[in-house]
């Protein structure tokens, strides 16, 4: 019988390994390692990463390489747990360090940090569970990272050719990324991270045609395909139609000149418009999907009554979701009541609106990542801060703490959906993935908060050594909201446009165009090129070519660069690198 | 033609609306006009799309007929796998992988079902996706050497595909 890469095919009689102690322990350990590394590195460099794909590769190495008994669905549990533990890092480091920078952290008992962020982790996961059917089964959103991870999980059984393509993509993108980082090691700058094509073509300075040379972003586009073309079109509208028109109409202050014009239009016009469109588009999408959500909920309630031959539910019983939401609501209520001196009535309203906002934001983030792999977390944070400052009577510590709840929730929601997409593609049982994510998702915030506390004691935060750029950005947002300089008119105008676009009959159009106006062109171009290549390849070579050749190669491109970012995070934590 | 005009109006309205909104403060009247153009564009677009879908369904291109054929082919192929898995499991698993790739196109082809009503579309896709997930699990289990698990889910996916086919036929 033919053997395939990494596989010794032997017929096994025992029950199929899926949720095992080995998978959970490995997932928690690897997730904790990534969470600690990315917390520290994220506060220095300003970015984090999900790490699902790396966890899947590590899972293969240990479960099958060392323990000699791993299965596809068991390794899916490893990556589900690891990414659940790791993903909430961004929700914490974007918010909590701002309290330290503003010297407000002592106003809140540490226990509340843990409770509020744990509530976020639980809320994000529970809210997104009922939407699995709609987004994955009915709307068939692509979830590029989830698709890439499924490709990795299936590679050992998919034949040597796919394994080769995956490996080639990984090595290529890792090597390119490494060469781009040469200056950090004191080596010559061979391949830049960005190319200013506009300058090379002698275009006017205000034409933003800078391209990020990121194979990971190109790979995301390769997996996304047609949906991403709308993002590319929206980027063209934003940067190459609106910007010149606005300039020629004289709507830009005279002191803004040269390359600053593009940044000005982006910062004060198109980006807030994009945020509004995202919100309007997702609300319209939610309304239009209500009949389908009703079908999904009915099917969920029915499915949770039926058990498989082993006596397990395929879908998580609906009372888990209700229980989780009530639990998290109570935690938010207690936090608002105890910390905000708001009185019971206002605390109740704060908790209720907070929970409703988390639902909408989770939906939006899951839709965005499902269609493009990008989540507009910073834009949503701005809206969160705006809503929460109003609700809490401009209580800044409470606003930032509840902002952390929202941040953790929406990161968790997007990750849960990516993991469920992977699970769908490898045939995992959804309820098992959801249970392990609920059981472990709250660990990440505790790890991240502990690391933030340690960093504060060791080096301080918001200085040359630990600049915490995302928290500084949040501090600016809070100050902007307190100073009354939030572009609410742009949010409303964008919301109307996004709402109408989503009624057009093209699923998610409002969200896609909003996202394209919100994102910097730097990444839209390589992503768009990936989408175009996918579409051309599909038309010329057929869908089978995409599945057989393009997907494994694209997954490799995403994993190689992601692995390098983790390596650089670890090297930074170890003190080897000082970016 | 209606869809084409609708698309143009939608695009013109969007560009005009985005420009009007970009000004500080926004030009609300111009935005209102743009939204109205977009609204008419959306109506035309949706009407045109409905007409196109009905036309192609009547001609037997796309629509339910093609979906039914896709499902029937997949069901027949799975029956072959059920026979060949006894002789050569590896070949059966490869065969299943190919069927799963073919089934991926079902979702794209299923879009016209939306004209039958969003609830009906939701029911068909829910049933189809369950079948797909079970067949995916069968593939994974066979790849891992868990033959019993693979057999169980192959049969379950097969039954669920038949259920999807029955659902489709219920609306003829």
Q: What is the pLDDT of residues B50-79, one digit of tens each?
A: 887 777 666 666 667 788 888 999 999 999
Alpha carbons A14 and A30: distance in angstroms, whole number: 27
Chain A, chain B: beta-carbon pairs less than 8 Å apart:
170
What pLDDT does A300 receive? 65
What pLDDT does A462 receive? 86
Alpha carbons A461 and A99: distance in angstroms, whole number: 10
Q: Does B103 touch chain A (CB under 8 A)?
A: no
What pLDDT does A89 receive? 86
Residue among B25, B41, B146 minimizing CB distance to A489: B25
Distance from the Cα of B132 to chain A's closest Cα (Å) equals 8
Q: What is the pLDDT of residues B9-42, one digit of tens each?
A: 999 999 999 999 999 899 999 999 999 999 999 9
Could you tell me what percentage of chain A is helix, strand and coil, using 3-state DSSP and rounding each to the nearest 5? 75, 0, 25
Alpha carbons A62 and A556: distance in angstroms, whole number: 20
Reply yes or no: is the peptide bond before residue A122 cis, omega within 30 of 0.
Answer: no
Distance from the Cα of B59 to chain A's closest Cα (Å) equals 23
Alpha carbons A292 and A25: distance in angstroms, whole number: 37
A26: CB partners within 8 A, 6+ apart: A58, A59, A62, A63, A78, A81, A82
Reduce the DSSP state of residue A210 to 3 states and report it. strand
Question: Which of 60-89 (A) contact B at CB < 8 A?
Answer: 71-73
Q: Does B112 touch chain A (CB under 8 A)?
A: no
Alpha carbons A291 and A297: distance in angstroms, whole number: 10
CA distances from A152 to A259, A418, A419, A554, A559 (A): 42, 14, 13, 11, 9
Written as tens digits, the pLDDT of chain A (579 aa) is 334 344 445 566 678 999 999 999 999 999 999 999 889 888 887 767 777 888 888 888 898 888 888 899 999 999 999 999 998 888 898 899 999 999 888 888 888 888 889 889 888 888 887 788 888 988 888 899 999 999 999 887 777 888 889 899 999 999 999 999 888 888 888 899 899 998 889 998 888 899 999 999 999 999 988 888 998 999 999 999 999 999 999 999 989 888 899 999 998 999 999 999 999 988 888 788 777 677 667 766 666 666 665 666 787 877 777 887 888 789 889 988 988 888 899 999 999 998 888 888 888 888 889 988 888 877 888 888 888 998 888 899 999 999 999 999 988 898 899 999 999 999 999 999 999 999 999 899 999 999 999 999 888 898 888 888 888 888 888 888 888 888 899 999 999 999 999 888 787 888 889 988 888 888 899 999 999 999 999 999 887 888 888 988 998 998 888 888 888 888 887 777 765
Alpha carbons A568 and A41: distance in angstroms, whole number: 8
What pLDDT does A41 receive? 82
Distance from the Cα of A86 to chain B's closest Cα (Å) equals 26
Alpha carbons A272 and A489: distance in angstroms, whole number: 9
Q: Does B60 touch chain A (CB under 8 A)?
A: no
Backbone φ and ψ for A560, nearest 5 degrees, come out as -60, -50
Six-digit token pair at A153? 């999980």
The radius of gyration of chain B from alpha carbons, rounded to an integer in Å, stands at: 23
Question: Which of 235-264 (A) contact B at CB < 8 A?
Answer: 237-238, 241-242, 245-246, 249, 251
What pLDDT does B54 receive? 75
**Whether residue B142 has pLDDT greater than 80:** yes
Question: Which residues does residue A211 pair with via DSSP β-bridges, in sequence order?
Answer: A195
Residue pointed to by tokens 């009905």: B54
Contacting residues of A for B149, CB less than 8 Å apart: 15-16
Six-digit token pair at A360? 């909408």
Distance from the Cα of B30 to chain A's closest Cα (Å) equals 11
Check B17 against A497: CB less than 8 A apart: yes
Query: For residue A549, with 0-12 CB atoms within 10 Å meaning exposed, 13-18 middle and 19 or more buried, which class applies?
Result: middle
Distance from the Cα of B107 to chain A's closest Cα (Å) equals 7
What pLDDT does A1 receive? 36
Alpha carbons B150 and B163: distance in angstroms, whole number: 20
Crossing angle between the packed helical segments A110-128 and A343-371, to the nearest 10 degrees? 50
**A569 alpha carbon, distance to own chain's centre:** 18
Contacting residues of B for A9, CB less than 8 Å apart: 89-90, 145
Q: Does B158 touch chain A (CB under 8 A)?
A: no
Alpha carbons A75 and A73: distance in angstroms, whole number: 5
Contacting residues of B for A131, CB less than 8 Å apart: none
Contacting residues of B for A10, CB less than 8 Å apart: 145
């Amino acid at each position: 019988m033919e053997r395939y890469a990494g596989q010794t095919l032997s017929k096994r009689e025992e029950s199929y390994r899926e949720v095992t102690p080995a998978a959970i322990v490995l997932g928690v350990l690897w997730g904790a390692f990534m969470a600690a590394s990315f917390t520290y590195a994220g506060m220095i460099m300003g970015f984090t990463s999900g790490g699902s794909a790396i966890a899947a590769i590590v899972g293969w190495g240990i479960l099958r390489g060392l323990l000699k008994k791993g299965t596809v669905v068991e390794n899916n549990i490893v990556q589900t747990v690891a990414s659940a533990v790791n993903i909430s890092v961004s929700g914490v480091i974007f918010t909590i360090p701002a309290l330290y920078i503003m010297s407000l952290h002592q106003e809140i008992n540490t226990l509340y940090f843990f409770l509020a962020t744990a509530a976020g982790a639980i809320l994000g996961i529970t809210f997104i569970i009922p939407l699995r059917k709609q987004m994955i089964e009915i709307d068939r959103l692509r979830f590029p990272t989830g698709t890439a991870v499924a490709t990795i999980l299936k590679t050992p059984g998919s034949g040597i050719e796919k394994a080769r393509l995956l490996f080639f993509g990984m090595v290529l993108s890792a090597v390119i990324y490494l060469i781009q980082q040469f200056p950090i090691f004191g080596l010559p700058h061979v391949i830049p991270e960005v190319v200013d094509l506009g300058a090379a073509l002698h275009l006017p300075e205000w034409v933003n045609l800078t391209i990020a040379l990121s194979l990971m972003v190109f790979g995301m586009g390769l997996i996304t395909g047609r949906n991403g073309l709308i993002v590319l079109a929206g980027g063209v509208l934003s940067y190459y139609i609106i910007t010149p028109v606005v300039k020629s109409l004289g709507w830009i202050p005279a002191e803004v000149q040269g390359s600053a014009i593009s940044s000005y239009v982006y910062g004060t016009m198109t980006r807030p418009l994009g945020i509004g469109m995202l919100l309007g588009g997702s609300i319209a999408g939610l309304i239009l999907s209500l009949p389908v959500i009703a079908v999904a909920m009915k099917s969920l309630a029915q499915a949770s009554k039926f058990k498989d031959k082993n006596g397990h539910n395929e879908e998580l019983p609906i009372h888990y979701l209700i229980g989780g939401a009530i639990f998290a609501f109570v935690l938010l209520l207690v936090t608002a009541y105890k910390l905000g001196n708001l009185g019971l009535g206002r605390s109740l309203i704060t908790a209720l609106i907070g929970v409703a906002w988390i639902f909408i934001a989770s939906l939006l983030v899951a839709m965005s990542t499902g269609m493009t792999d990008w989540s507009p977390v910073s834009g949503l944070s701005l809206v969160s801060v705006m809503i929460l400052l109003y609700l809490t009577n401009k209580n800044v510590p409470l606003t930032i703490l509840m902002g952390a709840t929202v941040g953790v929730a929406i990161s968790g929601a997007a990750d849960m959906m990516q993991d469920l997409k992977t699970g769908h593609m490898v045939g995992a049982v959804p309820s098992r993935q959801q249970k392990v994510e609920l059981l472990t998702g709250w660990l990440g915030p505790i790890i991240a908060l502990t690391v933030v506390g340690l960093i504060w004691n060791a080096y301080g935060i918001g200085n040359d050594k630990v600049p915490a750029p995302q928290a500084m950005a949040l501090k600016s947002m809070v100050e902007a909201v307190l100073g009354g300089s939030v572009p609410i008119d742009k949010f409303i105008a964008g919301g109307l446009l996004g709402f109408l676009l989503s009624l057009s009959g093209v699923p998610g159009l409002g969200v896609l165009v909003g996202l394209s106006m919100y994102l910097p062109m730097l990444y839209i171009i390589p992503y768009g090129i990936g989408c175009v290549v996918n579409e051309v390849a599909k038309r010329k070579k057929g869908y089978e070519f995409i599945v057989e050749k393009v997907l494994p190669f694209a997954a490799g491109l995403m994993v190689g660069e992601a692995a390098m970012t983790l390596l650089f995070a670890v090297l930074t934590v170890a003190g080897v690198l000082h970016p | 033609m209606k869809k084409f005009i609708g698309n143009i109006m939608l695009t013109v309205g969007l560009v005009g609306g985005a420009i009007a909104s970009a000004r500080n403060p926004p030009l609300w009247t111009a935005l209102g006009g743009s939204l109205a153009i977009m609204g008419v564009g959306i109506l035309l677009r949706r009407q045109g799309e409905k007409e196109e879908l009905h036309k192609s369904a009547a001609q037997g291109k796309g629509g339910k007929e093609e979906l039914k054929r896709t499902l029937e082919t997949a069901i027949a192929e799975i029956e072959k796998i059920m026979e060949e898995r006894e002789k050569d499991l590896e070949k059966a698993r490869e065969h299943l992988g190919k069927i799963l790739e073919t089934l991926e196109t079902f979702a794209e082809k299923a879009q016209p079902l939306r004209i039958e009503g969003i609830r009906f579309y939701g029911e068909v896709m829910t049933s189809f996706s369950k079948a797909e997930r079970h067949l995916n699990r069968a593939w994974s289990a066979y790849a891992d050497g868990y033959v019993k698990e693979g057999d169980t889910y192959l049969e379950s996916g097969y039954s669920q595909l038949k259920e999807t086919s029955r659902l489709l036929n219920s609306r003829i």
